[in-house]
Structure 1
Amino acid sequence: MEAPQYVAARVQQALAEDGRTHELGIRVDVRGDQLFLRGQVSGAEQRDRLGEVAREAAPELHLHNEIRIVEVSAPGEDEHLD
């Protein structure tokens, strides 16, 4: 069986290099047969795509997509705090 750090590195590389994601800021943790994705993205579609790519890179693991979606305000918009 492949060492967890190698599986994590393989998934990380897939997320960085896959044309659907090109994502560098996602943390990948492997514990036993569990794969955890953590980080922040700006939309649900990107989050789902990251999960897809990770699942393809390590289909033998149970995926936990814990990536949070962060609303990004458009440039030039003032943030209004109540």
Structure 2
Amino acid sequence: MSGTADEPESIPPQYLAARLHRALAEDPRTAELGVQVHIRGGVVVLDGEVTSAERKQQLENTVRELVPDARIHNEVRVGSSAQPGPSEELR
């Protein structure tokens, strides 16, 4: 991602959020489309659901690589990766 040397304060919040969201979707380590990125009071907030704690941490690590001086609040939830149960038969 070019332009990552920009300070987060110099980029309008909606553009920084869009940049980070795109990076999380395109980075092969994360490839997450369902994680939202918000900028609240200069803090990068990650929100959504992933299947493992490792995936959650990788999202934060990726954001930290792109904006190393930013404060990050990782609100991503770890959901169950269990397979769905048997189908229900309706009568």
When normalised by structure 1's length, the TM-score is 0.85
The CA distance in 1 between the partners of 2:68 and 2:42, in whole Å, is 10
* RMSD (Å), alpha carbons: 1.3
Name the SS of the counterpart of 2:23 in structure 1. Answer: helix
Aligned residue in 1 for 2:16: 7
Task: Tell me, yes or no, if the aligned pair for 1:7 and 1:58 is still in contact at 8 Å.
Answer: no
Q: In the alignment, does 2:68 pair up with 1:59? A: yes
Please, which of 44, 48, 61 is the counterpart of residue 53 of structure 2?
44
Moved over 4 A (4+): none
* Letter aligned with residue 12 of structure 2: A
Report how many aligned residue pairs link the two structures: 77
Task: Give how far 1:34 is off.
Answer: 0.4
Task: Tell me, yes or no, if the aligned pair for 1:28 and 1:37 is still in contact at 8 Å.
Answer: yes
Long gaps (5+) in structure 2 = 1-9, 87-91
Larger of the two Rg values belongs to structure: 2
Task: Tell me, yes or no, if the aligned pair for 1:33 and 1:60 is still in contact at 8 Å.
Answer: no
Please, which of 18, 28, 42 is the counterpart of residue 27 of structure 2?
18
Task: Give how far 1:72 is off.
Answer: 2.0
